[in-house]
A and B are shown apart, each in its own frame.
Chain A
Amino acid sequence: MKLDLLRRLNLERAARRAAILVTAVEGGEQRLVREDEAAGDPLSDELLARLRSGRSGLVETEAGAQFLTVQVPPPRLILIGAVHISQGLAPMAAAVGLDVTVIDPRTAFATPERFPDVPLIALWPDEALAGLPPLDRYTAVAALTHDPKIDDPALVAALRAECFYVGALGSRKTHARRVERLTAAGLSPEAIGRIRAPIGLDIGAVSPPEIAVSVLAEVVAALRQGPRRAPA
């Protein structure tokens, strides 16, 4: 491998951008495909599927077998609200390999006693997010406070950053009011349509830990099956 290619691969990783190194098994010729180049690549279908799954592997092509070294940034889950659902969700999400952070400016909620072993930021979302690596396509955001003052700024930031998952707790009625506020804030119907609300897969969840399961399942589905299309 050329040192320059290795350097570029490492730079993409440091910037939290996905990339695929394509290596000819016979001969060893190599090229780097950045995530924004994958759609225009001759191997686009294969590369896009690999970017979603994050799995490296062999592919047979007209030019012979190629090995695809897939680098995707570790997925993150940012929970807005140090609430009961988050207490169940944070450890479950960590167990499936998500890098979890909980944000809540209400210091009565955001306590280490309620969230042992979870990175916790007791600041308003705008301030808290400014201190983290920028939101990106490998980040999920779930807004769980029920309080528009806390949830809305995080949702706006998540939609603008094209996070792979944006979910918001609340009934259909609550969500209808949220849609009005976000529209007034200048977000497009397409962007707002990407919010999953009511949040979570419909598994009839009742208790906070059950709701946590339904939210986590929805996050994993978004991660592995690709972004949901905005409803028509």
Chain B
Amino acid sequence: MLTTETDILSAAESWRGAGRGVALATVIETWGSAPRPVGSHLVVDEEGNFLGSVSGGCVEGAVITEAADVIEDGRPRVLEFGIADETAWRVGLSCGGRIRVLLERVE
């Protein structure tokens, strides 16, 4: 897991270094049975390519969509997801937890 997080931050650096618009998402708080621990990262580029995860796959889509706006306006934001909501239910990951994710642009 530690190695994975390193790979993600290395990818964030090299993607940005190559001139791509990049956003970094970090799990900053969890409640209940959240699938990924605090400190987990997801890196997204302007075309929606991503590496890493902030959940078991249920909120990545929303984070990636929001990342496009963050890459556009540069304003960091905190996203909150109740994992047991309807969206999660549809993809079958109704684990009952909640997470907060900090989303920021790599400048």
Contact = CB atoms under 8 A, between A and B. Distances in A.
Nearest to B103: A28
Contacts, number: 60
Interface in B1-42: 2-3, 5-6, 9-10, 12-13, 16-17, 24, 26, 28-29, 37-39
B52 interface: no
A28 B104 contact: yes
B78 interface: yes
A7 interface: yes
Interface string A1-32: 11100110110010000000001010110000
B39 to A, nearest CB: 3
A55 B2 CA distance: 11
B39 A69 contact: yes
Nearest to B107: A2
A9 B5 CA distance: 12
A132 to B, nearest CB: 17
A171 B107 CA distance: 58
Interface residues of B, number: 24
B28 A6 contact: no
B16 A6 contact: yes
A10 B37 CA distance: 20
Given A7-B13, A58-B29, A1 B106 contact: yes
B39 A56 contact: yes
B105 to A, nearest CB: 8
B102 A6 contact: no
A2 B78 CA distance: 18
B28 A10 contact: no
A193 to B, nearest CB: 31
A67 interface: yes
Nearest to A54: B2
B76 A55 contact: no
B38 A6 contact: no
Given A3-B107, A57-B38, A74-B3, A67 B102 contact: yes
Contacts of A72: 2
B39 A6 contact: no
A57 B9 contact: no
A70 interface: yes
Contacts of B24: 1, 6
B38 A55 contact: yes
A10 B104 contact: no
B84 to A, nearest CB: 22
Contacts of B78: 25
Given A1-B106, A3-B107, A9 B9 contact: yes
A13 B26 contact: no
10 contacts: A1-B24, A3-B16, A6-B13, A10-B6, A23-B26, A25-B102, A27-B76, A28-B76, A67-B26, A70-B39
Interface of A: 1-3, 6-7, 9-10, 13, 23, 25, 27-28, 55-58, 67, 69-72, 74
Interface of B: 2-3, 5-6, 9-10, 12-13, 16-17, 24, 26, 28-29, 37-39, 76, 78, 102, 104-107
